[in-house]
Chain A
Amino acid sequence: MSTNGNMNLTLKVWRQKNAQSEGSMVTYKADGISPDMSFLEMLDVVNEDLIHKGDDPIHFDHDCREGICGMCSLYINGQPHGPKRAITTCQLHMRSFKDGETITIEPWRAAAFPVVKDLAVDRSAFDRIQQAGGYVSVNTGGVPDANEIAIPKVIADEAFNSATCIGCGACVAACKNASAMLFVSAKISQFALLPQGQPERYSRAQAMVAQMDEEGFGSCTNTGACEAECPKEISLTNIGRMNNDYLSAKLFRQEDVNRG
């Protein structure tokens, strides 16, 4: 470590020109990195350096940089969003690494998340799953009073926990099967638990699962890696709830995907 407490690191980064080209791991030096920098700020420093040299900077997704948008990704040293629990990459600080360490940075790997460039992947598969059924229909007209519909607190809390999913895709990245079931089940649960979600409950489960399969995600084996890596700590219980809704819909209910 240098005298001012800054760190010198070696980065192994996935570089890929575009979706069509073959990519490879490229090694970079990141010297004089402050332990107080976030991981994304460290990449900003490396990119400044690359731009000065006339090289193509490393492309990565980011937006709010305060852990709520779900845009930043990065598979760091074999874990989505790096080694710490319940945070996104923008909330990961360089003090979580040791001076002289080699850090491997890869994009989310899934057939349904094709690489756009370098570390940025196309997560629009999640948008299409949401569009398939991740909504509730409401009546227009006068504004209803708040808390007009009584909901038990435990149920409201559980629905809210499911709704904290930011759709970052860490569950898919962590899963050995590249399964999207934690995401899909959270989006199904947040409505299935509440009265407002009941009219479309069973058609929603069918439509969203069908779209999930269509996108080419893998199947769940209940390993729980998704739950452990989720920055919002979405529980595996959601997957059980989705299974219940989907199988009830398919085997016992009259509703189908098209006829609400």
Chain B
Amino acid sequence: MSDFKQTFNSSLGKKLIMALTGLFLCTFLIVHLGGNLLLFSKDGGFGFNVYANFLTHFPPVEVVAYLLYLSIIVHAVYALVLTIGNRKARPVKYASSNNSPASVSSKNMGLLGSILLVFIVIHMSDFWYKYKYTDTVAFKEYRTNLSSGITTVSDFTPTSKDFEHSVSTQGDEEVVRVKDIHTKVAASFGQLWYVIIYVIAMGALSFHLLHGFQSAFRTVGWIHRKYTPVIEFVGTWLFAVIIPLGFALMPLVYYFQSLSK
């Protein structure tokens, strides 16, 4: 075991941990964006609420979720440890400013990461925490006529305090009662300051991943004349453009919809 201890305490071992947790968080972003595209469907939040319920009640997803929270913490703690070590490696600073060519994102990973950490705290305390640990999120009832396929929405007040969700059939109607996080999302995204925070955070995410994704592959030693350009392409277009843009569009679309109401 002391072999592994030594490995993960070395400079390259710490970087390996940064790379692996970072890449794991990247895979999460794909799933998170994919699921949240349900926000764009005009079904009164039916799909999104059922999806949110699935995420919080399906045990394997919960296991992965705790791995994810752990990854965020480990990624942030190791970033701090490495940064302190890097500062110690140059105790006397240069008088002149560094003019060596290097990308803006690569030089500011710590700042970008800190913005993202603050964002994650705001984001999770507003949705995840309120959904799981408070009763501030109301319920909705979706009645789908099985022969016509038409769904009607109404508010629902559970009689029991422990009520989570239910699926039942009444006549030819399917009745789904579920926590209505969709209304909470719409309310949050109707506030301008909230939208601004989200858009800034997604800008930070873009620059963080523009460097981080391809850098992680270098750190794990995955460099290849043929595959490194593919990794750089995916890192740039998928992780630094499509994903942040997709996430940023959600608050923007909801904000502008709230203005026209």
Contacts and interface: CB of A to CB of B under 8 A. Distances in A.
Interface of A: 12, 14, 25, 75, 77-80, 83, 104, 106, 109-112, 174, 176-179, 209-210, 212-213, 216-225, 228-229, 236-237, 239-248, 250-251, 256
A239 B12 CA distance: 10
A111 B106 contact: no
A98 to B, nearest CB: 16
B10 A210 contact: yes
A25 B93 CA distance: 13
Contact of A209 (B12, B96, B100): B12
Interface in B79-135: 82, 85-86, 88-103, 106-107, 109
9 nearest A-B residue pairs (beta carbon): A244-B221, A240-B223, A218-B89, A78-B99, A177-B86, A243-B221, A218-B86, A225-B100, A178-B89
B15 interface: yes
B196 to A, nearest CB: 29
Contact of A243 (B89, B90, B98, B218): B218
A206 B10 CA distance: 10
Interface in B40-86: 82, 85-86
A222 B218 contact: yes
A247 B15 CA distance: 11
Given A178-B90, A218-B90, A222-B214, 19 more contacts: A12-B95, A78-B94, A79-B99, A106-B94, A109-B90, A110-B89, A111-B88, A111-B90, A179-B89, A210-B10, A219-B11, A222-B211, A222-B218, A228-B100, A239-B218, A243-B218, A244-B220, A247-B12, A251-B7
Contacts of A229: 100
B96 A112 contact: no
A241 B14 CA distance: 17
Contacts of B86: 176-179, 218-219, 221
B256 interface: no
B195 interface: no
Contacts of A220: 11, 15, 219
Nearest to B14: A219
